[in-house]
């Protein structure tokens, strides 16, 4: 094998690891945000001087946004490019988190959570990217590991909620 071909083969062999690392961080972050706020809703209600009904919209708006945007963003990814839509969904997740980080009212928190819900498109896009980028023999295990991150992120969100609220 010539030197340039060996170098190209080495890059291809390492690429799935890098791709998986990016996907794992994004999927883990998204699922973490799903469960992070639920345990601290009472604290959020108290700190923002709002009602319980208004506070429940933090979760409801997020779930509505994610349930609508997940299949739409995934389908647009199939048509317009999975990588591009993955980056847009990740950007929505980050933007929504920034909005929530600076929020001083429950309305702004709800808007931030709606924006975060658009990040739900990360899940189907991650599976599509794995299917496109990974060697056939590694697709099933990569999808299984990514799917397991959904449970890990959700569980970690509940555990991390306390220290995050205290900070």
Q: What is the pLDDT of residue 16?
A: 85
Residue 98 is assigned to a structural domain of this protein = yes
Q: How many domains does the chain have?
A: 1
Residue 32 is assigned to a structural domain of this protein = no
- Is the confidence at residue 18, as pLDDT, over 50? yes
- The total of other beta-carbon atoms located within 10 Å of residue 128's CB is 17
Please state, rounded to an integer, the average pLDDT across all residues of the chain.
Answer: 88
Residue 15 is assigned to a structural domain of this protein = no
Identify whether the C-beta of residue 122 lies closer than 8 Å to the C-beta of residue 150: no
Residue 1 is assigned to a structural domain of this protein = no
The reply to whether the predicted model has a pTM over 0.85 is: no
Q: Measured between alpha carbons, how far is residue 48 from residues 99, 121, 133, 158 in Å?
A: 15, 29, 45, 21
Altogether, the residues listed in the chain come to a count of 167
Q: At what angle do helices 106-118 and 82-102 cross, to 10 degrees?
A: 170
- Is the confidence at residue 5, as pLDDT, over 60? no
Q: What is the pLDDT of residue 34?
A: 82
Provide the pLDDT confidence category of residue 14 given band limits of 50, 70 and 90.
Answer: low
Give the DSSP letter of residue 23.
Answer: H
User: Residue 123's domain spans which residues?
Assistant: 43-160
């Amino acid at each position: 094998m010539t030197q340039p071909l060996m170098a190209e083969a080495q890059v291809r062999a390492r690429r799935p690891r890098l791709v998986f690392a990016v996907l794992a961080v994004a999927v883990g972050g998204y699922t973490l945000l799903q469960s992070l706020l639920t345990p601290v809703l009472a604290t959020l209600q108290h700190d923002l001087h709002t009602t319980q009904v208004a506070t429940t919209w933090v979760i409801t708006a997020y779930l509505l946004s994610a349930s609508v945007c997940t299949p739409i963003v995934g389908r647009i990814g199939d048509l317009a490019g999975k990588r591009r839509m993955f980056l847009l969904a990740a950007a929505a997740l980050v933007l929504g988190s920034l909005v929530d980080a600076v929020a001083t009212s429950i309305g702004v928190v709800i808007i931030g959570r709606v924006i975060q819900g658009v990040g739900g498109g990360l899940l189907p896009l991650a599976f599509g990217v794995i299917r496109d980028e990974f060697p056939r023999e590694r697709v099933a295990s990569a999808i299984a590991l990514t799917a397991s991150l959904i449970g890990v992120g959700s569980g970690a969100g509940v555990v991390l909620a306390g220290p995050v609220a205290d900070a």
